[in-house]
Amino acid sequence: MLLDLNKLRGAHEHFERTFAPAAFDPPDSDYRVAAPVELVLDVHPLGGGAFGVAGRMKARLQVVCSRCLDPFEVPVDASFDLRYVPHADDAGEVEREIGEDDLTTAHYRDGMLDLIDLMREQFMLALPMKPLCSEDCRGLCAECGTNLNKGQCDCAPRWEDPRLAALKSLLPREKEN
């Protein structure tokens, strides 16, 4: 959804919107939006074409556990305080003087603020690099792929006695000599 910054009526605008998961199609490869997303937003002009955009969003994202590969949901409750400046392609000389090296500076194009992009950005910041379904997730058996949170497999006992495995690997070599 695009917010037309030129149509802001006053010095300060307040928005409250709920976005259906389908608004985020096509889904990002890192997560899927699992419930309607609530966004509260305050926009005010800062002068020189810049806008202050502060707000909060609540969402539930489905991600895949990095150990056991099972999907699970992560609640996201993110606050943000951003400064939007025109994209370099659109900006005049004055706007280009605004420092763009800090993380809270974002860009808009053609007078439009893309709220879906803004929220996608916040999702990525909120999600852990390696999501875990639980702190003590036992992951998958490296041999057969069994999810060890759900049950044991036959590979596990052999893994528990590395001395036996070492002996077995020595026997055929001795015969060859």
Q: Which residues bind Zn ion (CB under 5 A)?
A: 65, 67-68, 133, 137, 141, 143-144, 146, 153, 155
Closest CA to 130 of 68, 76, 40: 68
Between 96 and 168, CB nearer to Zn ion:
168
**Smallest separation (angstroms) from Zn ion to the CB of 29:** 18
Strand 50-64 and strand 105-108: the pairing is unpaired
Q: How far is the CB of 139 from Zn ion (least distance, A)?
A: 6
CA distances from 22 to 30, 36, 117, 138 (A): 16, 9, 14, 33
Shortest reach from residue 158's CB to Zn ion, in Å: 9
Nearer Cβ to Zn ion (88/164): 164
Nearer to Zn ion (CB atom), residue 49 or residue 131? 131
Q: How far is the CB of 59 from Zn ion (least distance, A)?
A: 21
Specify the residue, 16 or 135, whose C-beta has the smaller distance to Zn ion. Answer: 135
- Residues 81, 54 contacting (CB under 8 angstroms): yes
Decide if 147 contacts 68 (C-beta within 8 A): yes
Helix/strand number for the chain, H first, E second: 4, 8
By DSSP bridging, strand 71-86 and strand 50-64 are antiparallel
